[in-house]
Structure 1
Amino acid sequence: MATASPSCPPSPAVAEGPVAPSRSVGRLSGRRLLAGLLVALGALLFAHVGALDNVFHYDDIHSVVQNLHLRSLADPSSFLTDPTTFSARPERAMFRPLVVLSYAVTYALAGLQPSAHLLVNLLTHGLCAGIVLVLARTLGLPAIAAGTASLLFALHPVNGEVVNYVSSRSESFAAAGMLAALWTYLRWRDGAGSAVFYGLSLAAFCMALLSKATAIALPGMLLAAEGLRAQRRRPVNVLPFLGLGLAYLWVVANLAQQALAAPVRPLLHQVWTQLKAVPYYLHLLAVPARLSVEHDFSVAPTLLAPVVVLSAVLLLTTVFVVWQQGGFQLRFLGVCVALGLAPASLVPLNVLVNEHRLYLVSACLAIAAGASLWPRLRRLWGARAGVLILLAILAVLSQQRGRVWDSEQALWSEAAERSPYAYRAHLHLGGALEEQGDIVGALDSYREAARLAPGRAETHYNLGNALRLTGHPLQARRSWERSLQQNPRFLDALLNLAAHHQGLGDWDQVWDLLARAEQVRPRSPEVWRRKGLALRLTDDVAGAESAYLRALELDPRLAEAHHNLANLYNPANGHFKGRGDEAQRHYQIALQQNAGHHGAANNLADLLLNAGDPVAAERICREVIGLAALRHTPGQTKLYLQLGRALEAQGRTAEALGNYRVFVRSRAAPAALRQAVQQRIEQLETPRR
C-alpha cells in the first residue's frame, strides 16, 4: 500500500478544498451507515422501480428488438470489430461494443422482455449513484454531504431518461466508467490506495470508451485534477490516458467511418447553439417541471444573437465566480462539468439538446451542491429538513416522470404538447397513434411533422404510409417520392414505392426500385422478402421460394417471410403439391414470432379446416381474436368467419351463427364475401324456423 509523502497532507482534496469537516461529524457509525444505505435504496426504488413496467422506445427498436446481431453470443468479438452490430440498420453503425455486449447478454438471459433490459439500466444507475458517493468522499466531503450528493443525483428526474430508455444505457455505462476512473485515479494520486488503483482507473476509462465516445473527455478531467493542485503537480501521470484516447480515436476512424459522416450543421453554428443551451440545461436542473423527451430548440447562426450574448455573459460570470470563490473541489468539478458537455457541444448532432447529456454533468453538480450545502447541514437542523424535503420532491417527480415512459403514445403526446415546434415529437406521436390503430390521428401528426421539417426524408415517408392506409395511393406515392428526393438511399421509401408500382402492374419501375434497394442494403431480409412477393406475382414460383428462403436465412425470425413462404406452399394456392405440412409449420412459426399475425392465423385456420381439423382451427382463431391489439381490426374480422366455419364443422350451429353475424356486420370484409356468408346464415336458420 502506497503511503502519502510526509511533506504533504494525507488528503489534498480536503486540505485544498473549501470543506474540512471534523471526524465526529464527518463519519457515521456502522448502524447509521447501514440505515442510510437502506433508506437510499428505498428512495431509489421508489423513484425508479416503475421503469420495469415500461416498454421499448424508438431507437430501442433498431438497436435491440430488430437487431439480429444480438441473437447469439457465439462470436462476441464481432461487437468489438464490427460497428454495424450496434443496429439492425447499417447506416446507424456506432462503436459501442460494451453496450452491444450487454444487450446480447440480456437477450440470452431474458429475450426481448423490456423489464429485463430496463433492470440493467436501473442497476447501472444505482451503481453510478454509489460511485458518486465514494468520489465525493475522496474529494473530501463528509459522509452526510456525500450521501446528499449521491441522492441528489440518483433521484433527480432529469436522469429518468437514462433509467427508462434502454438505448440511454450507453450514457450510464460511459458515466460509470468515467466516474470510476476519476475516483480510482484520485485515490491513487493522493496516496490512499495502491498502484492497483491506477490500473483500475485505466481499465474504467477503457470501459467508458467502449460505451460511448463522450468518454474521450476524461484525460482533460485528470489533467485538471493535476493542474489545480497547490503542489505535487504531475501531469505526466495522465499520458497513458491520453494514449488510450488517441488509440480509441484511431480505431473509431478506421472502423466506424459511417459515424463520422458529414456534419449536420457548421461548427460555429453548433458552438453558438450549445452556448445558449447552457442556461437552458441549468434551468432544467433547477426547475425540472417540464421535462420532455424532445425539446423546442433552434440553431443559433451567429454569436451576436441576443440569447447567445446573454448566455455567454452568464457563463463567463459563473466561471469567474467559481474560480475566485471556490477551492480545489469546486474548480475541479466545474472543469468536469464543462468537459462533460464539450463532446456534444463541439460535434454537430441531429438533436440539439437532450436530457441524457446532463447525466455525468448532474453527478458533478450534485457533488458540488453537497460540498456547498455542508456548512449549513453541519450547523442547522432546518437545513437538513429542507434537504430531505427536496429529495422527497425529486423522488416523487422521478416516479411521475417514469409513468410517461409506459407507452409510446404517452411519451410522445407529452412531447408534442410541451414542444409543439419539434418535428420529431409529432413524427413519433404519429407512429404511436398508427400502432394503436388511430390512422386519422396519425395522419394529422405526420402532416404537422412534414410541415415543420420539409427537408427530412422520414417525415414524407411516414406521411405517405398514413395516406396509403387512409385510401389515398396517389398522394402516398408523391410523399414517398419527396422522401427519396431528400434521401435517395432511404430503403423503406424504395420498398414502399416498389409495392405501389407493383399494385399498378408497372414492373419496370418495380424491378428498378428493388434493384436500388438491394444495392443500398444487400443483406436486408426485407428486401429479399419483397423480391419474393414480386417474383410470385410474375409467376416465377421457384424464384419466389428462393428469395423467401434467402430472407429467412438472413433473419430466421422474420414472421412475414414465414407467412409468405407458407402461402407459397399452401395447397389451396396451387403452386406446390404435397407441401401442406410445410405450409402449416411456417404459419405456426409466423405466429410464434408474432402472436397477433392475423393473416397467418386466418390461413392456418383455413388450412386446418380443409385438412379436417376444426378443433385446432377453433383454437387458433380464439387465441388471436383474444389479443387486445387486434380488437375491432379488419384482420380480426376474417378470423370470425374462420371461427364460424370451425364451429359449424363441429355441429355448434348457434355459436357459428353468432360469429358469422359479426363478420357480416363488418365493413372491412368484401361485399361479395359478406353476401355469401349472409346466404349461409339464412340457410342455417331455415331449419330452425
Structure 2
Amino acid sequence: MHCTSRETARVLASLGTLGLALALYANSLAGDFVFDDHSAIQVNPDVRTNTPLSSVFKNDFWGLPLSHAESHKSYRPLTVLSFRLNHHLHGLWAPGFHAVNVAAHAGVCVLFFWACLGLGASLAPSLSASLLFASHPIHTEAVANIVGRSELFAAIFFLLALISYQRAGRKDTTTPSAWIFLTVALSAVSLLCKEQGVTVLGLCLVLEAKNFLLKPEKIVPVQSKNRISWTGHLLRSSVVLSAIAALLFIRIYLIGRGTPTFVDSDNPAAFSPHWKTRFLTYSYLCALNVWLLLLPSQLCHDWSMGSIPLVESVADYRILASLSLLAVTLTSCTLLARRVISHKRVRDCGWTELSRSFHAINSQGNKNLNNNNTLTVQKLTLFPTNTKKRPSNLLEWKRWGLRSKSSVLLLVSLSWVVIPFLPASNLFFPVGFVVAERVLYLPSMGFCLLVALSINSFRTKTRKNHAAIAVSLLVLVFSAKTVSRNSEWGTSRGIVTAALKTFPGNAKLHMSMGNILAQQGDRRCEMFYRNAIRLRPNYASAWTNLGLVLVNTDRPKEAEEAYRTALALKPDHLNGNTNMGHLCRLQGRWEEARRYFTSALARRPNLPTLHYFLGVASEEIGTQRDIEE
C-alpha cells in the first residue's frame, strides 16, 4: 500500500510524541508507593486476588462499600481491576505498577495527536499540542503517582470516544450511527475509569456545533421551504444528550442516594456558611488552576489544611486574578465568536440577489447544482455585503475561511479546557479537595491545543521557524521540570519534603512527615507532630500520633493527655479510641480499655484486631470479677 508523504509525516510525529512521553517518565519507574497509593493499592482488599471479583463492582475506589457512611462514592471499577491484574502478575512490586502508568500516558499522548488532527488542526499545531501535553509538569501527579491511573485510563477512552465521534461526522462515513453508539459505549467505559470521563459527551456537542459552523453553506432559491438541513445535527445531538442523561442516572443509581462525606480541611470553602465566601473562593480557585497550567513552577500533592486561605471579601487582592480570568475569557470568546458569526451570515447577501444568481446559472445549464437544487456559497462565491473585510476573489475567500476555521478551533479548545473541569469546579457539588493537579489532566489537553494554535497563528512565510522555536523552548522547560518532579514523586519523604517547601504552613504536610519519620524510627517525628498541632490545634489525628510517640518514649501520662485531647476534639476518632484502649490495656485498666475498643468498633466493625482486643479486655474483666467473688 502506497504511503504518502503526508501520512509519513503524521506517523513520524506520532512516534516522536510517543518517544518523548516515554523518555520523560522513565525515571518514575523506580518510584515507590506514595501518598494515596497506600490506601488505594497496598491495603485495598479489592486489589488482592483472594477477595471476590464481584467486590470490585460493589465497592468504591478505596475498597469501602458504596453504602458505607465514609465512602467517597468514587466508583472506578475498571481502574481497580487494572491494579488487581498488576497484583496478580507481580504482587506489590511498584515498578510494575509504574510501567503501566507510563505506557498509558504515552498512549494518551499519541491519541491526543490524532484527535487534534481529527478536529481539523494541521500537522504543526497538532504536533506542538501533543508535545506540550507529553511534557507538561502538571501531569506528574497523574503519571508518577500510581493512583493517577484513573486519570490516564479515563483519558484513553475519552480520546477514543472523541475520535469515534469525529469519524461519525465525516462525509465518507457509511455507518455514522455505529460510530455514534461506539462513542457512547467508550464514554461509558471512560466513566467507569474516572468520573470526568463522561464529559467527553459534552465536548461532542461542541464538535457538533463546530461541524455545523464549518460546513459549506448551502444557499437555496427563495421558493424552497427547506433552506438549511438541520436533521443530521439535531439527531446526533439528541443521541448525545440522551446518553449523558442515561449515564448520569446509572451512576447515581449505582452509588446510591448518599453524598460523599468530607471534612472541612478537605474543602474549607464548602463548609463556609456565607455564599459570598464560597463564590469568591471558588472563582479564585478557577484562576489558580489556569495559572498552574500557564506556570507550573510551584506544585504540591496536597493543597488542603489552609494552604489557600478563603477569599472572604472583595477587598482581597486575589479577586484580581478571578476578574482577569473572566475578562480574558469573555473577550476571547466574543472576538472569536464575532469572527465565526460574520463568516456564517450568508443571509446578508440578500435573497433577491441570490435568486437572480441562481436563475442565471440555472439558465446556463451550470452543473454546480446538487440533487436538491441547492447551490453552495463556495461555488457562487457570495459573501456578506455588510462585512468590511469581505473577500473580493477566490484566494481571499480561502484565507477568510481559514481564519474562520482557526477561530472555531480556538473556541473548541476553550471548551475542552472548561467542560472536563466542570466536575471539579464545585459548580454543581462540593468536591473533596481544594486543588488537585491530577484533575487537570483532561483540561490540559484543551489548554495545550489552545497554546499550540495561538503560537501557530503567528506563523508566516517570513517567520516560519518562530513558532517551532517557541514550542521547542516550552517543551524543553516543561521537560526539565517534569523529570525533576518525577524524582520528587519517587518516595514519600521526597514528595512531602518538596511540598513543605511550597506550603510550610500546611499542618497536614507536617503530619505526613511525622508519620514517615515515625515509620523509620526517627524521633524527629515528634517535632513535626507538634508543628502540626501548633498550626492546627484542633487536629485530632496529630494529637493521636503524638500520643503514640509519647507512649513509645515512656511518657504515658503525657500520652494519655494527648489521647484525651484528640477524643475531646473528635469522640469517634478511630485511632484515638484504639490507642487509648491499648494504653489502658497496658496499665490494666480493662473496663476503660473495653469502652474505648467498643467505640473504635463502632467505626470499623469488620476490623479483626479490634474484636480480638475487645475479647481480651472482656475476658480480663470476667477473670477479675471471678477473683473478687
Q: TM-score, normalised by structure 1?
A: 0.69
Structure 1 window deviating more from structure 2 (462-471 vs 79-88): it is 79-88
Q: Report the residue type matching 1:244 in the other structure.
A: A
Is there any run of 5+ residues in structure 2 with no aligned partner, and where?
216-229, 337-406, 624-629
Q: What is the aligned partner in structure 1 of residue 165 from structure 2?
A: 185
Q: Alpha-carbon deviation of 1:110?
A: 1.5
Distance (whole Å) between structure 2 residues aligned to residue 328 and residue 104 of structure 1:
43
Q: Alpha-carbon deviation of 1:514?
A: 1.3
Of the three residues 83, 96, 109, the one matched with 2:89 is 109
Q: What is the aligned partner in structure 1 of residue 449 from structure 2?
A: 367
Distance (whole Å) between structure 2 residues aligned to residue 271 and residue 250 of structure 1:
26
Q: What is the aligned partner in structure 2 of residue 210 from structure 1?
A: 192
Q: Deviations over 1:33-89 (max 9, x none)?
A: 444334333322221011110011122112110112221277433322333763599
Is 2:514 the partner of 1:422?
no
Of the three residues 292, 303, 319, the one matched with 1:309 is 319
Q: What is the aligned partner in structure 2 of residue 290 from structure 1?
A: 298
Of the three residues 181, 200, 211, the one matched with 1:199 is 181
State how 1:238-253 maps to structure 2 within 5 Å.
238-253=240-255
Percent identity of paired positions between Structure 1 and Structure 2: 23
Is 2:345 the partner of 1:345?
no
Contact 2:286–2:425 (CA under 8 A) maintained in structure 1: no
Structure 1 window deviating more from structure 2 (133-142 vs 378-387): it is 378-387
Q: Report the residue type matching 1:435 in the other structure.
A: Q
Q: TM-score, normalised by structure 2?
A: 0.75
Is 2:238 the partner of 1:236?
yes
Q: Deviations over 1:162-214 (max 9, x none)?
A: 11111122222233333332332233134454433212211221122212223
Distance (whole Å) between structure 1 residues aligned to residue 608 and residue 51 of structure 2:
21
Structure 1 window deviating more from structure 2 (250-259 vs 408-417): it is 250-259
Distance (whole Å) between structure 2 residues aligned to residue 449 and residue 404 of structure 1:
22
Q: Report the residue type matching 1:149 in the other structure.
A: A
Q: Report the residue type matching 2:252 in the other structure.
A: W
Q: Alpha-carbon deviation of 1:301?
A: 4.9
Of the three residues 41, 44, 56, the one matched with 1:67 is 44
State how 1:164-563 maps to structure 2 within 5 Å.
164-191=144-171, 193=173, 194-195=175-176, 196-227=178-209, 229-230=212-213, 232=230, 233-234=233-234, 235-254=237-256, 257-258=259-260, 264-266=270-272, 268=275, 269-295=277-303, 297-302=307-312, 304-307=314-317, 309-326=319-336, 327-346=407-426, 347-376=429-458, 379=461, 380-439=464-523, 441-531=524-614, 534=617
Distance 1:289 1:246, change over 3 A: closer
Is 2:20 the partner of 1:43?
yes
Q: What is the aligned partner in structure 1 of residue 141 from structure 2?
A: 161
Q: What is the aligned partner in structure 2 of residue 611 from structure 1?
A: none
Q: Report the residue type matching 2:280 in the other structure.
A: W
Distance (whole Å) between structure 2 residues aligned to residue 32 and residue 190 of structure 1:
22
Q: Report the residue type matching 1:363 in the other structure.
A: M
Q: Report the residue type matching 1:239 in the other structure.
A: L
Contact 1:62–1:87 (CA under 8 A) maintained in structure 2: no
Contact 2:459–2:467 (CA under 8 A) maintained in structure 1: yes
Note the aligned Cα RMSD (angstroms).
2.9
Q: Alpha-carbon deviation of 1:434?
A: 1.6
Distance (whole Å) between structure 1 residues aligned to residue 62 and residue 501 of structure 2:
35
Q: Secondary structure at the match of 1:300?
A: coil
Contact 2:59–2:65 (CA under 8 A) maintained in structure 1: no
Structure 1 window deviating more from structure 2 (59-68 vs 482-491): it is 482-491
Q: Alpha-carbon deviation of 1:137?
A: 0.6
Q: Secondary structure at the match of 1:83?
A: coil
Contact 2:61–2:80 (CA under 8 A) maintained in structure 1: no
Contact 2:133–2:448 (CA under 8 A) maintained in structure 1: yes
Structure 1 window deviating more from structure 2 (80-89 vs 339-348): it is 80-89
Contact 1:62–1:88 (CA under 8 A) maintained in structure 2: no
Distance (whole Å) between structure 2 residues aligned to residue 464 and residue 305 of structure 1:
42
Contact 2:184–2:240 (CA under 8 A) maintained in structure 1: no
Is there any run of 5+ residues in structure 1 with no aligned partner, and where?
1-26, 541-689
Distance 1:537 1:362, change over 3 A: same
Distance 1:28 1:271, change over 3 A: farther
Structure 1 window deviating more from structure 2 (282-291 vs 104-113): it is 282-291
Contact 2:591–2:621 (CA under 8 A) maintained in structure 1: no
Higher relative contact order (CA 8 A, sep 6+): 2
Distance (whole Å) between structure 1 residues aligned to residue 279 and residue 155 of structure 2:
23
Of the three residues 105, 126, 138, the one matched with 1:146 is 126
Structure 1 window deviating more from structure 2 (120-129 vs 271-280): it is 271-280
Q: What is the aligned partner in structure 2 of residue 58 from structure 1?
A: 35
Contact 2:98–2:146 (CA under 8 A) maintained in structure 1: yes
Structure 1 window deviating more from structure 2 (291-300 vs 383-392): it is 291-300
Q: Report the residue type matching 2:335 in the other structure.
A: Q
Distance (whole Å) between structure 2 residues aligned to residue 417 and residue 122 of structure 1:
27
Q: Deviations over 1:396-444 (max 9, x none)?
A: 22111100012111111111121111122111111112222212x2111
Contact 1:174–1:208 (CA under 8 A) maintained in structure 2: yes
Contact 1:322–1:330 (CA under 8 A) maintained in structure 2: no
Q: Deviations over 1:461-491 (max 9, x none)?
A: 2222233333332222222233233333322
Distance 1:104 1:299, change over 3 A: same
Contact 1:50–1:403 (CA under 8 A) maintained in structure 2: yes
Distance (whole Å) between structure 2 residues aligned to residue 298 and residue 525 of structure 1:
39
Q: Alpha-carbon deviation of 1:152?
A: 0.6
Q: Deviations over 1:240-296 (max 9, x none)?
A: 322333323422441765558998524844442221123322332222222222346
As a proportion of its length, which structure holds more helix?
1
